[in-house]
Amino acid sequence: MNFTQFKNQFQNRPFILSRDASSFVKNPQVLRNQFNRWQKKGLLISLRKGVYILNEQDRNIPANVNALANILYEPSYLSLEYALNFYGIIPEAVADITSVSTRKTKQFKNALGSFMYQHINPEAFRGFKRVGEGSSAFFMADPEKAVVDFLYLNLSEFGDDAQEKLEQSYRFQNVEELNPEKLSAFGQHFQSKKLTRVIKILARWIKE
């Protein structure tokens, strides 16, 4: 398969997985050699091992970094600071596209950005939803789950002054839109007494 044939096959897909391309080239070594040649020519861009994208001129679908975050490291969903900014809970945009996963903590940097994944236990891997349609769809934490994930992974930062810390250091806002019951329910899956205390402080702030 030459590049024109390859492009025609994949230009309407936002991302290319080597496992999908292998159905068109039966010999794995031939496929690897072709991919290496196309990368050197700037026709194909590697986002991580096994995940690629056509160069901007040859692809018909724009790259959606939210969908890519799910693909780069599975299973995962967008959460933490990236989701908090998405929902308007913190005002500043963040440099890393942050997610949580049941796998070990990992970071990827590629042509589309920096993608950070934090580990959580499988029993806490819940509280997310599918956003969007088709190939641009992605999984993102509910607002309350993004907050709980953030609190849990930064527990050492919080004590009895948690509200002050959230307001002044992390600039939390629009907290009145959060559901205290959901915060508490999601927090229970982490089985952390300290997290439960911090969530109670946040819940009081929400109800003020």
Q: Range with the lowest mean pLDDT among 19-28, 87-96, 174-183?
A: 19-28
Helix 193-207 to helix 143-153 angle (10° resolution) is 130
* pLDDT on residue 1: 78
Which positions ≥6 away from 75 have C-beta within 8 Å? Answer: 101, 102, 103, 125
Please say whether the beta carbons of 115 and 66 come within 8 A.
no
Q: Which long-range contacts (CB under 8 A, 24 or more apart) does 122-130 make?
A: 123/189, 123/191, 124/149, 124/152, 124/186, 124/189, 124/190, 125/75, 125/100, 125/101, 126/186, 126/189, 127/186, 128/77, 128/78, 128/79
Structure tokens at 27: 């010999």
* pLDDT on residue 20: 87
pLDDT band at 21 (very low <50, low <70, confident <90, very high): confident
pLDDT tens figures, 99-140: 999 999 999 999 999 999 999 999 999 999 999 999 899 999
pLDDT tens figures, 83-100: 999 999 999 999 999 999
pLDDT band at 26 (very low <50, low <70, confident <90, very high): confident
